[in-house]
Amino acid sequence: MGNVIGIGAAPKRKEDQRFLTGRGNYVSDIKRPGMAAGVFVRSPHGHAVLRGIDKSAALASPGVIAVLTGEDAAADKLGSLPCGWGISDAKGVPMKEPPFPMLAQGKVRFVGDMVAFVIAETPDQAEAAAELLAVDYEVLPSVVSVLEAVRPGAPQLFDDVPNNICCDWELGDKAAVEAAFKKAAHVAKLSLVNNRLIGNPMEPRAAIAEYEPGTDRFTLWTTSQFPHVVRFLMGALVLNIPQHKLRVVAPDVGGGFGVKQFHYGEEAVITWAAKRVKRPVKWVASRSEGYVSDRHGRDHVTEAELALDETGKFLAFRVNTLANMGGYLSTFGPNIPTNLYAPLLGGVYTTPAIYCNVKVVFTNTVPVDAYRGAGRPEATFVLERMVDVAASEMGIDRVEIRRRNMIPKEAYPYQTPVLVQYDSGDPMGCLDGALVAADVKNFGIRKAASASKGKFRGLGYSTYVEACGLAPSRFAGRLGARGGLYESATVRVHPTGQVTVMIGTHNHGQGHETTFAQIVSEKLGVSFENVDIVFGDTDRVQFGMGTYGSRSLVVGGAALSKATDKVIAKGKKIAAHLLEAAEVDIQFEAGNFSVAGTDRTKSFEEIAGAAYVPHNYPLEVLEPGLEEQAYYDPVNFTYPGGCHIAEVEVDPETGTVTLVNYTAVDDVGTVINPMIVEGQLHGGIVQGVGQALFENAVYDEGSGQLLSGSLMDYCMPRADHMPMMKVATHSTLCTHTPMGVKGCGEVGTIGSPAAVINAVVDALSHLGVTHVDMPATPNRIWRLLQNASLPVAAE
């Protein structure tokens, strides 16, 4: 018994003690005996033929142990980095899938593409030697924007990928959409850019690899959100290491946001190198190196059209998007702008017909992959901007047009025209709650107060839905997934009743050690302090798909819940024997097994003890021990959603946008730990605000140089950029997950960009401004105001 802390409580986090005292164990903190240091030599050109590499000067440099190149990898017959999703066009023609060698071979295709790995006694010696590596490049013109890349005559990245188009993908009923457009009373149009982002988890990526000749085993410590998937992809598909000979450990990881959920070439190179040089090898990226090697996010160019009837009801939505993949296909790359984007274009509305075409395009940029929200923020942004444009053009209030088109609560489950079926939701309830919390009715007073100071105040709405808890394996398989999307958990009850959980998700800030312990504490009636959560080590955890797409609690928590149910079921059998009762008569409540209607009872600890000391135990019918495992493969995505309202003030003299109020009401299903959920919502919102107002990865067309190449020129949100936010939950329960949870990790990032930009446009609408691309930086706004040719700061 003891201190049971269950679902809905907000205990302080178990993981905090070590983080607050400097005792976290991040990859860069780890040292191994005899460890050498590795440095990657990366292409300084966006696009070039690799004519040759002269290693001699580098090899002669002090402390150098080895220099490895793509030629060495080819000689060792190593595979290229696999893509985890294979998409096809409407005719079923598979995407073009050129190889992604872990070290460049023949050509480099983005600034940062890896050319060589230099290993030396110390990082400084490796750096010095890397400077001496003579790489002969024949520089080619680069193409970095999708608009340029698909034009005739554009530089071609791959000989067998005409026009740089990886796949011309579509979803929806094109004919039905065309028919609806013909009878529309109004058609609203919008062209927009969804800006390229750099994830910037505060811990830069790092890896250490070690090979033990005595056992022929490899260990890789890596900053990963999914160590088992790295073991599978790297072992089975890249390096040909049997799974049982490869241990992948992701210890404390300092933030992920998607950026650390891919199998990176660095991991493969360093593991291969450790065996070649017979030394443990460590590599730690600098932040600037991360800028040209961490996978980037977003980067869409979109044309959208919304057909409406005369009352403002949506008839059809048509979207054409060019999505940037960068120089190669990353682990989930092609899945993000297709399967995780187009099915969310229905949003929370009853739009009967939707068609989306996505051209997935290669360019000379860092590969693009999932970044917090992954496809769903892009869908929400285009839809919620489109709704505002339509409302403005038709003279309908922005809240009213949303209400007229929202799926009513009683219409759930709701089948959209684009694949997905929402199981539950209450968008109107979220909207109503947000309107009150944001004090929208007094906005006019605040706007007038701003105007009296010469400032323009605007209010912006975003009502959204996301598909998360990725996902049913069968469904994902039909969409091109080359892996499963289940999760596993093992509940190990020790002889004295304490519990160790081994789970396949990964904790990198989400508080799993606390949330999952609450689930076990409640379900088994054991003390919260007596539950430990183990994750991130393929030698300790059987299998798992890791943490991304808000799947940990939804899928991992469900596996954990199932495993605890199995523990209880076995405990009942043991209790029935000990209490000399029929199994059906055993009840389990508050940590005690008892015979219904009697005072005969055995505690959870007594049952655990009997399982491991089976002197009086039903050995004829039951194995000793108390440890159960469950795998859980969900039947559907979950569909969190909500309404976000942003309020901004624009200074027309400088173009500065200040976020003055922010309100979010989100439907995340059952809340296990409200403190942790609120923290996830805060962080998510600010990440979306970052995209809307500050963050932008800018490339130079032609040279392919990344101009925003460090934290000096990529603006991350800081504490003084934000007001205090108001966040609340208005939850409907997921109908198919065991605890009714829906996921909360990404909702903030999905909801906020559109809310902020809609607010900026609202603030400037009296000047005729109808759209602002992200990020709404002072420079962009100031130029817009100059072009508006209005007496902005006339007095």
Partner 1 sequence: MTVQISFTLNGRPTTVEAEPATLVAELLREQLHLTGTHIGCDTSQCGACVVHLDGLPVKSCTLLAPALDGATLLTIEGLLGAPGSNQMHPMQEAFREHHGLQCGFCTPGMLMTAIALAAEKPDLTEADVRHGLEGNICRCTGYQNIVISVMAGAAAMNAAKGE
Tokens of 290: 């991360």
State how far the alpha carbon of 294 is from the alpha carbons of 57, 70, 201, 258, 374, in Å. 29, 20, 10, 10, 15
Q: What is the 3-state secondary structure (H, E, C) of 440-460?
A: HHHHHHHHHHHHHCCCEEEEE
Residue type, 72: D
For the window 723-742, what string marks contact with partner 1 as x by the rule CB under 8 A? -xx-----------------
Per CB under 8 A, 255 contacts partner 1: yes
Q: 3-state class of 194 per DSSP? A: strand
Sole window of 72-80, 246-254, 340-348, 587-595 interacting with partner 1 (rule: CB under 8 A): 246-254
Minimum distance between the CB of residue 553 and partner 1, rounded to whole angstroms? Answer: 15
Distance of alpha carbon 282 from alpha carbon 37, whole angstroms:
5
x/- track of binding to partner 1 for residues 256-295 (CB under 8 A) = xx----------------------------xxx-------
Residue type, 107: K
For partner 1, the closer CB: 748 or 775: 748
Residues 469-508: x where in contact with partner 1 by CB under 8 A, - otherwise, as a string: ---------------------------------------x
Q: Give the pair of three-digit tokens for residue 472.
A: 């049913």
Amino acid residing at 569: A
Cβ contacts of 629 within 8 Å, gap of 6 or more: 488, 489, 490, 491, 542, 563, 566
Contact 403, 633 (CB under 8 A): no
Least gap, CB of 335 to partner 1 (angstroms): 24
Residue 686 beta carbon to partner 1: minimum distance, rounded to whole angstroms:
4
Of 347 and 511, which CB lies nearer to partner 1 in the complex structure?
A: 511
Q: Is 707 in the site for partner 1 (CB under 8 A)?
A: no
508-527 mask for partner 1 (x: CB under 8 A)?
A: xxxx----------------
Comparison of 14 and 359: residue with beta carbon closer to partner 1: 14
Alpha-carbon span 251 to 25, nearest angstrom = 6
Extract the runs of DSSP E, i.e. beta strands, from 173-313.
Answer: 186-198, 206-212, 217-222, 246-249, 281-284, 296-308
- Distance of closest approach, residue 718 Cβ to partner 1, in angstroms: 5
Between CA 751 and CA 761, with CA 755 as vertex, the angle to 5 degrees is 155
> Is there binding between residue 16 and partner 1 (CB under 8 A)?
yes
Q: Is residue 3 within the footprint of partner 1 (CB under 8 A)?
A: no
Work out the end-to-end distance of the chain between its first and last CA atoms, rounded to an integer number of angstroms.
72
Considering only residues 660 to 699 of the shown chain, the ones binding partner 1 according to CB under 8 A are 675-676, 678-679, 682-687
Q: Does 716 interact with partner 1 (rule: CB under 8 A)?
A: yes
Q: Tell me which of 620, 712, 794, 795 binds partner 1, using CB under 8 A.
A: 712
CB-nearer residue toward partner 1: 256 or 460 = 256
Strands (E) in 61-177, as ranges, are 64-69, 107-108, 114-120, 134-139, 165-172
How many residues belong to the chain?
795
Kindly state whether residue 130 participates in binding partner 1, applying the rule CB under 8 A: no
Cβ proximity to partner 1, 46 vs 748, nearer residue: 748
* Binding-site string for partner 1 from residue 742 to residue 761, where x marks contact by CB under 8 A and - marks none: ------x-------------
Contact (Cβ atoms closer than 8 angstroms) between residue 137 and residue 50: yes
Pick one of 310, 719, 789, 791: the residue that binds partner 1 (CB under 8 A).
719
Count the site residues for partner 1 by CB under 8 A: 55
Among 1, 2, 7, 24, binds partner 1 (CB under 8 A): 24
ω into 413 cis (within 30 of 0): yes
Q: From CA 555, how far away is CA 425, in angstroms rounded? A: 19
Q: Tell me if 254 contacts partner 1 by CB under 8 A.
A: yes
Choosing from 12, 77, 91, 441, the residue that interacts with partner 1 (CB under 8 A) is 12
- Interface ranges with partner 1 (CB under 8 A): 12-13, 15-24, 26, 28-29, 200-204, 252-257, 286-288, 508-511, 675-676, 678-679, 682-687, 710-712, 716-720, 722, 724-725, 748
